[in-house]
Amino acid sequence: MVAATTFMDAPISFDNVTATATLHYIGHTVSSSKKTVLASLPQPNATLVSSKFIKSLRSLNSREYPAKVPTTVDHSLFFTVGLGANPCPSCNNGIRLVAGINNVTFTMPETALLQAHYFNISHVFTDDFPAKPSNPYNYTAPVDQSVNAAMMTGTKLYRLPYNATVQIILQNTAMILSENHPFHLHGFNFFEVGRGLGNFNPEKDPKRFNLVDPVERNTVGVPAGGWTAIRFIADNPGT
């Protein structure tokens, strides 16, 4: 029997149920006299258990399935990921929760980005997305309610040369609420080379990166009150 529960370490409501499944292998007989006992599962907010399990994952890194993780980096980016509160006269309490990276919340353009780039259409996007926060702070500490939590809006891009090796540190913030954030890199697979709780330390944490057999994926969860580091090669300009 396989059992799974929801993981949620943020103070928000969720559907706390346990999903179960029974696996039967061909050629294996099961005695009807044996009773299946459900194991004791971790608590939904077991952050350390979840973090330990994710850190234990490894790729095969074999001759047939090599882990081609970049060992050198051309572009090193530091992205804060979190929630903000922007003014909204028509909303309850006059504010609207927004998600943003480096204090920028995305504005969907009317013209496709690749179309604007290919045909050199102006006023669709700007290429001034910040490589790091303009005003560093203690990202994982609770923020005083008097602090301005508004984010700028815009269609901003960060340009990467073709075949550049890229590292992105995704740092969770506690501006509004510290919670896990899924991060998807469209059109690419990447390697998660490291993760941790608290603020990323650029001097100490890279020394513990796994550059041998990290897991290759296209979506990763940025832990609440923590960070994750990914690396990839920018070899897909889009179609």
Residue 199's domain spans which residues?
75-234
pTM of the full structure: 0.88
Sheet containing 226-234: order of strands:
152-154, 104-106, 95-101, 75-87, 164-172, 226-234, 190-197, 215-217
- Read off the pLDDT of residues 227-237 as tens digits, 9 standing for 90 and up: 999 999 999 98
Weakest-pLDDT range from 10-14, 45-49, 75-79, 115-119? 10-14
**Residue 18 domain-assigned?**
no
Task: Please tell me the distance from the alpha carbon of residue 82 to that of residue 165, in angstroms, as a whole number.
Answer: 25
CATH number (domain holding residue 177): 2.60.40.420
**Residue 10 domain-assigned?**
no
- Read off the pLDDT of residues 32-66 as tens digits, 9 standing for 90 and up: 667 777 788 899 889 889 889 999 999 999 999 99
Of 237, 230, 234, the residue nearest 81 (C-alpha): 230
**Residue 21 domain-assigned?**
no
Instruction: Classify the C-alpha dihedral 136-137-140-145 as positive or negative.
Output: negative
Cα dist. 158→69, 115, 186 in Å?
A: 22, 17, 15
**Residue 46 domain-assigned?**
no
Q: What percentage of the chain has pLDDT greater than the value 70? A: 96
**Residue 43 domain-assigned?**
no
**Into how many domains does the chain fold?**
1
**Residue 22 domain-assigned?**
no
Structure tokens that stand for 157 in this block = 């891009």
**Residue 42 domain-assigned?**
no
**Residue 147 domain-assigned?**
yes
Please return the burial class of 157, using the count of CB atoms within 10 Å of its CB with bins 0-12, 13-18 and 19+: middle
Q: Which amino acid is at 7?
A: F
Q: What percentage of the chain has pLDDT greater than the value 90? A: 64
According to DSSP, the β-strands at 152-154 and 104-106 are parallel
